[in-house]
Amino acid sequence: MSLLPSSVQPFVGTPLDDLRPLAYTLWKTDFLSQATSRDLAEFYSTKDYVPQGNRIDALNISKMYLELDQVEHSELYVVDPTLSETDRVARLAEIKAHTTAIQREVIAREATKKLAHQRSAAHTFLVSAIS
């Protein structure tokens, strides 16, 4: 039974613990090639690496949460047409603050969650390559 999460394909090749001459060179070439094909290589070569696409993906998720909030709490998005221009602008600012707070919270949570999964996958893949 594999200890790898089902989403992480294990390393295929000579494990690093093989002490044959040139084993490290062969292992490193295979490892980096496979890590690259799994979008994991940067986790091994760049300190505190965070993929650029994570925040964009989190933004897209936040838009879904925002749509859901607009359906579930439609009263929060109502602007009374009888408001004065000043009050109307203030009300729109309240709505904007509310939507911005939702998006910031979701983006932070989802980007953090995705990065944790990616780092776990990188760790798991490395472990599969050395044992």
Whether residue 8 is contained in a domain is answered as no
Q: How confident is the model at residue 1 (pLDDT cuts 50, 70, 90)?
A: very low
pLDDT tens digits, 16-34? 766 676 788 888 999 999 9
Query: Would the pLDDT of 15 be above 80?
Result: no
Three-class DSSP category at 9: coil
How is the chain classified by DSSP, letter by letter?
Answer: ---S-TTSPPP-S--TT--STTHHHHHHHHHHHHHHHTT-HHHHHSTT---THHHHHHHHHHHHHHHHHHHHTGGGG---TTS-HHHHHHHHHHHHHHHHHHHHHHHHHHHHHHHHHHHHHHHHHHHHHH-
pLDDT number for residue 107: 98
pLDDT number for residue 18: 62
pLDDT number for residue 108: 97
Please tell me the pTM assigned to this model: 0.79
Q: How many domains does the chain have?
A: 1
Q: Which residue's structure tokens are 């979701």?
A: 106
pLDDT tens digits, 90-131? 999 999 999 999 999 999 999 999 999 999 999 999 999 987
pLDDT number for residue 88: 98
pLDDT tens digits, 53-70? 999 999 999 999 999 999
Whether residue 116 is contained in a domain is answered as yes
**In Å, how far from its chain's centre is CA 53?**
8
Mean per-residue pLDDT of the chain: 91
Whether residue 2 is contained in a domain is answered as no
Look up the domain containing 80 and give its range. Answer: 53-130
